Amino acid sequence: MSRPEWIYLASQSPRRRQLLAQIGLRHELLLPDAEEDAEALEASRAGEAPEDYVQRVTGAKLEAARLRWQRRGLPAAPILCADTTVVLGDQMLGKPADDAEAAQMLQRLSGRSHRVLTAVALLESPHPAFAARCVLQASTVRFAAVDTDEIVRYVASGESQGKAGAYAIQSQAAAWIEHLEGSYSGVMGLPLHETAQLLRGIGWQL
């Protein structure tokens, strides 16, 4: 049987779709069913290091996607998953629950450096004989001091919701970034260099 010319992306993030399209990779979405509690997979555990957390959650998302593929009887193709978290000091800043929490997160990030961790996992085939390949990418981002009024306007735009750390690097928040060390696409949610390396590892030509 010939290899498919596309992969499954098990992510609801439009940014990850955009990044895959940027490198010319065809993909189909493999999203949770209505009865699945996808948010529960992202729950943290007491005392868990951020690096361990983001890799564990990515692995859990990948396994959930594999089972989803199996239930639906879909054609076999590689499955790609990713998860991103923002870390300030030793504390993870996940997706804000509301605008008030988003503003609080951005006030804490103002004038400081933080890390952005993105784990990527790739399953060559959903069949049980195949093992996942995983990679962790870490970037450091330093924000300038941001006025409270700017934060209020940004949160009011709606950009904070659904974003780890309450901001998106490809949005207006880019004007706050004094320095970035690492991967721009990794901060967006899918480090393209590392993702391409994973795909080349299973024989894909990009």
Question: Of 83, 90, 98, 149, which is the active-site residue?
Answer: 83
State the Cα–Cα distance between residues 46 and 82, nearest whole angstrom: 22
Tell me the two tokens of residue 35: 């009865």
Pairing label, strands 91-93, 79-88: antiparallel
Q: How many CB atoms lie within 10 A of CB 158?
A: 11
For residues 11-29, one letter each, b for 16 or more C-beta atoms within 10 angstroms of the residue's C-beta and e for the rest, the string is: bebebbbebbeeeebebee
> Is 98 tagged catalytic?
no
For residues 52-90, one letter each, b for 16 or more C-beta atoms within 10 angstroms of the residue's C-beta and e for the rest, the string is: ebbbbbbbbbbbbbbebbeeeeeeebbbbbbbbbbbeee
State the Cα–Cα distance between residues 43 and 64, nearest whole angstrom: 15
Any idea which residues carry the catalytic annotation?
83
